[in-house]
Each structure stands twice: as C-alpha cells, then as structure tokens.
Amino acid sequence: MREREQEQSSANGPIYLRVRDQIADQIENGLLQPNSRLPSERVLAESNHTTRVTARLALAQLEAEGRIYRSNRRGWFVSPPRLVYNPTEDYSFSDNVVAQGRVPATETLDVTTIEANAWLAAKTGLAEGDPIVRLHRRRQIDGRSVLVENIYLNARRLPGIETFDFNRSLWKLMREHYGLELARKQIEMFPTALVDPQAEALGVNAGTAGLYVTRCSRDNEGCFVEFDEEFWLHDTLSIQVDVR
C-alpha cells in the first residue's frame, strides 16, 4: 500500500514527523537493513538539533507503523518483513517460517493439567472442572521472540497428549497419532497492547502493540479439541485468508 501513497513530505510540519520521514526514507532506500540498529536516541536528537523527547516521538511513530522495533535497553532496530500467516490452516509454524526463508524456534515454557474455569468453559463448551492440558509456548523467528501462546487441549479427547514432545508440530501429532482431522474453527482476533505477563515473556515493555488471536478447533463431530490463544508482536505478521 505504501508505494502509491503521496507521502506528503512534512517539511513544514512538526519536527518529530520530519525525523520520522528521514528515517523511513533510509529504511526504504536500503540504507538501513532489516534488523540493523538505528543511531541512538541521543545521536538522533543531536543530529536533528532537537531533544531526546522529540526524537523518541519519531521513534514511537515508526514503531507504531511496524517499521522499527526496540530491544530493551539495547537500541532500536529495523523490522524485517512480516510473516505471512493463515490462522485457518492447520500447518506447522515451523514449516511456514522455513518456507518464507526464516529460521523458527519454539520453547515450551510450561505444561500443566488444569480444570476448566468459567472463562475456558465459555470458550470451549466444556463444563467447569473438565480436565484440560495447558501448554505454554514461546516462538521465535530469526532469534526474535514474536509470540507467546497458551494452548488448551481437551484431555478426554486426546488421552496421553501431555506425554509427547511439544516442540514438534501439534497438528501433525493430532493427525498421525489420534487420527484426527479438525473440522471447524472459530477464530477471533483484534489489535491490542501487550501487558504483563505476555509482555515480559516476550522481553518487551508493557504497552507494546500486539495482535491477540484465538482459535477454537473441533473435530468433525463437533467435539472440542483445542483452544489456542496467541499474543503476537504487531509488526511481525500479516494475516492472509483465502475463502471459497
């Protein structure tokens, strides 16, 4: 969408938009490569004859646009291209990342068996107290943590699921071991800021822009199988869905 916009050069507008435009140009011209570090806030302020506060306004602007991201107390970096992601498909995160020429990684942070609370019961259709295996994972692209997720599995429908290696594809596991084909998915998503504990798990400040995605999957008899809740950094993905 960018290329056809008449980017009105904000030469006479606020200083922070001037600084924004200057950095955005450098990114588009390839002077600043993906994942490379920007000059420090103090340097940006000085070289534009302004203060850190104003320089930070420009950086916040670029961050909101998804063009740069920050690494806590290390600096600002150019965002790499977004991962194309189709939440309606049952493919593996890892395969998808590899197919786009990137390097995936998954960390399993926690596996617990819990009982469905009111919120989960409403989302899944189970009764409160029904057993659920909760899986907490963090996923990375090229070494950057881009999402954390909570996966809630129907322990009755998937007996023994908690004994498997969760760093592999859950979808393959369901298909190969349980002979399961997912028949229905309800997907919900909206943009929001990441707050603790998700922000902390991703190593970003509370308030960083994110995308919240949930998926509820059922088998071909309508039985609840899996509820997935994902917290993505907002600049890391582009959702694409093809409906026929």
Residues of this chain that interact with a second copy (CB under 8 A) are: 1, 3-6, 8, 17, 53, 60-61, 64-66, 82, 88, 117, 119, 183-193, 195-197, 206-212, 229, 234-235, 237-244
Contacted by 130, from DNA, a second copy, none: CB < 5 to 8 Å by type? none
Among all chains, which residue has been given the structure tokens 């302020």?
45
* Minimum separation from the CB atom of position 42 to a second copy (A): 18
Site for DNA in 12-41 (CB under 7 A): 14-16, 38, 40-41
Contacted by 106, from a second copy, DNA, none: CB < 5 to 8 Å by type? none
Alpha carbon distance 88, 244 (integer Å): 13
Q: HSE (CB half, 13 Å, CA atoms) of 49?
A: 1
* Collapsed DSSP state (helix, strand, coil) of residue 96: helix
Contact assessment for residue 93 and residue 139, using Cβ atoms and an 8 Å cutoff: yes
Query: Which helix (H) or strand (E) covers residue 114, if one does?
Result: strand 104-115
Q: Which of 92, 106, 169, 205 binds DNA (CB under 7 A)?
A: 205
Contact assessment for residue 92 and residue 172, using Cβ atoms and an 8 Å cutoff: yes
What letter represents residue 211's amino acid? L
Q: Does 173 bind DNA (CB under 7 A)?
A: no
Q: Which residue number, 76 or 232, has a Cβ lying nearer to DNA?
A: 76
* Minimum separation from the CB atom of position 138 to DNA (A): 16
* Collapsed DSSP state (helix, strand, coil) of residue 68: strand
What letter represents residue 225's amino acid? V
Q: Which residue number, 109 or 206, has a Cβ lying nearer to DNA?
A: 206
Q: Which residue number, 35 or 186, has a Cβ lying nearer to a second copy?
A: 186
Contacted by 56, from a second copy, DNA, none: CB < 5 to 8 Å by type? DNA
Name, in order, each residue with C-beta under 8 angstroms of 148's C-beta and a sequence gap of 6 or more.
109, 136, 137, 138, 139, 198, 201, 202, 230, 231
Q: Which segment (49-57, 82-90, 109-117, 191-199) binds DNA by CB under 7 A?
A: 49-57
* Collapsed DSSP state (helix, strand, coil) of residue 150: strand
Footprint of DNA (CB under 7 A): 14-16, 38, 40-43, 49-54, 56-57, 70, 72-76, 205
